[in-house]
């Protein structure tokens, strides 16, 4: 059986504070930026919910303290393990819902593909609820020590969900006519969820072994990385605007027109063209 390490480690507190602190800062910036640009939507609501869970996760990191009795967890540490087990799962799956909403908003898919997106959303939400319930049961039965089947379930659900998100982004954006550079930027931002899969595999392997400090650290990294990935497109858009000094959003279509072959998206901007009269003045 595996679970949180029984020995308090300063490394967990330091790494958890750094990872979650960075994720909280970037997510807060993303929400303020989207609110300022009057673009706040469902994807931002899910990111905000993930932010709330991430703050709770950071609090749980600072709740832990060195045990006074060897191999005995203080009551505060037990509570911290409960919060950590639940919030880590909630952060990751809220981030995935945010990514899915971003894909739907940008692609503006046909009714048929939109129903597919709704189906993916139902699968993600159902899986998240099931995993949270599983964590609660394991914490109540055995102090948040997770068995092998829990680690395998986590690995399978994470890999499948990330694969669905990557496939959805590729398929939904296929009918959206974008320039090659912008398409690559958007697809790269969405495909970054593959990074979560890589960390998931490592985390699941560690969960199958004896609990160590590294197991908890990787769990924090996984949650923080999930938030960073769901913020990736907004950050790319912001950098694009700053570097190109343009009022164009990569993730927002100003003009959309359905054609027989798909959706033609034009990113328009105002360009001042001098006239003959104005050039003489």
Domains and CATH numbers, the chain: 6-66+73-248 (1.20.1070)
Confidence of residue 123 (pLDDT cuts 50, 70, 90): very high
Give the pLDDT mean for 101-125. Answer: 88
Q: Which helix (H) or strand (E) covers residue 36, if one does?
A: helix 10-36
The answer for residues whose C-beta is within 8 angstroms of residue 73's C-beta and 6 or more apart is 6, 67, 81, 143
Band (178; pLDDT cuts 50, 70, 90)? low
Query: Does the pLDDT value for residue 270 go beyond 70?
Result: no
Edge-to-edge strand ranges of the sheet holding 176-177? 176-177, 262-266, 255-259
Query: Residue 13 to residues 9, 88, 139, 188, 256: CA-CA distances in angstroms?
Result: 7, 15, 21, 32, 48
Report, in angstroms and rounded to the nearest whole number, the Rg of the chain calculated over CA atoms. 22
Q: What is the mean pLDDT of the chain?
A: 75
Average pLDDT over residues 264-272: 33
pLDDT confidence tier of residue 244, bands split at 50, 70 and 90: low
The whole-number pLDDT of residue 271 equals 27
Q: Examine the pLDDT at 217 and tell me if it is beyond 50.
A: yes
Which of 45, 43, 53 lies closest to 23, judged by CA? 53
Reported as a single tens digit per residue, the pLDDT across 17-71 is 898 999 999 999 999 988 887 888 888 999 999 999 999 988 888 877 655 555 5
Is 124 a residue whose pLDDT tops 80?
yes
**Residue 263 pLDDT exceeds 60:** no
Q: Extract the tokens encoding 64.
A: 């832990």
pLDDT bracket for residue 246 (50, 70, 90): low
The first and second tokens of residue 224, run together, are: 């923080």
Average pLDDT over residues 163-177: 81
Q: Which residue has the higher pLDDT, 32 or 77?
A: 32
Helix (H, G, I), strand (E, B) or coil at 67: coil
CB neighbour class for 45 (10 Å; exposed up to 12, middle 13-18, buried from 19): middle
Percentage of the chain lying above the pLDDT 70 cut: 72
pLDDT of residue 23: 92
- How many CA atoms lie within 13 Å of 161's alpha carbon, on the beta-carbon side? 30
Q: To which residue do tokens 């829990």 refer?
A: 150
Q: Where residue 255 falls among pLDDT bands split at 50, 70, 90?
A: very low
DSSP class of 50: H
Closest CA to 227 of 27, 67, 3: 27
Extract the tokens encoding 88. 């880590």
Which H or E element spans position 279?
helix 276-280
How distant, in Å, are the alpha carbons of 127, 175, 185, 222 from that of 90? 11, 32, 27, 12
For the segment 128-166, what is each residue's pLDDT rounded down to a tens digit?
A: 999 999 888 888 877 677 677 778 888 889 889 888 888
Distance CA 165, CA 26 (A): 22
Instruction: State yes or no: pLDDT of 273 exceeds 60.
Output: no
Higher pLDDT, 227 or 176: 227
Alpha carbon 33 to chain centroid, angstroms: 17
Q: Within 13 Å of residue 276, how many CA atoms lie on the same side as its CB?
A: 0
Is the separation of the CB atoms in 219 and 87 below 8 Å?
no
Phi, psi of 38 (to 5 degrees): 60, 40
Global pTM exceeds 0.95: no
Of residues 221 and 279, which shows the higher confidence score? 221
Check whether 272 has a pLDDT greater than 90.
no
């Amino acid at each position: 059986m595996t679970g949180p390490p029984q020995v308090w480690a300063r490394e967990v507190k330091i790494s958890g504070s750094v990872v979650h602190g960075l994720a909280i800062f970037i997510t807060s910036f993303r929400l303020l930026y989207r609110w300022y640009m009057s673009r706040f939507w469902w994807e931002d609501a899910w990111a905000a919910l993930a932010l709330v869970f991430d703050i709770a996760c950071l609090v749980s990191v600072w709740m832990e303290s060195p045990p006074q009795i060897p191999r005995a967890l203080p009551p505060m540490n037990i509570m911290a393990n409960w919060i950590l087990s639940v919030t880590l799962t909630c952060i990751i799956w809220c981030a995935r819902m945010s990514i899915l909403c971003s894909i739907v908003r940008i692609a503006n898919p046909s009714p048929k593909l939109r129903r597919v997106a709704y189906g993916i959303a139902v699968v993600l939400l159902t899986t998240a609820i099931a995993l949270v319930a599983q964590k609660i049961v394991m914490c109540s039965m055995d102090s948040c020590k997770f068995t092998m089947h829990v680690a395998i379930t986590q690995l399978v659900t994470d890999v499948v969900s990330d694969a669905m998100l990557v496939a959805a982004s590729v398929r939904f954006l296929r009918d959206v006519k974008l320039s090659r550079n912008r398409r690559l930027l958007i697809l790269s931002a969405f495909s970054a969820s593959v990074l979560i899969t890589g960390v998931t595999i490592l985390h699941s392997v560690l969960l199958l072994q004896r609990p160590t400090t590294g197991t908890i650290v990787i769990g924090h990294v996984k949650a923080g990385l999930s938030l960073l990935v769901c913020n990736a497109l907004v950050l790319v858009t912001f950098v694009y605007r700053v570097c190109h000094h343009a009022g164009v959003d990569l993730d927002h279509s100003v003009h959309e027109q359905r054609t027989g072959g798909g959706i033609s998206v034009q990113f328009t901007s105002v360009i001042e063209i001098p006239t003959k009269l104005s050039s003489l003045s």
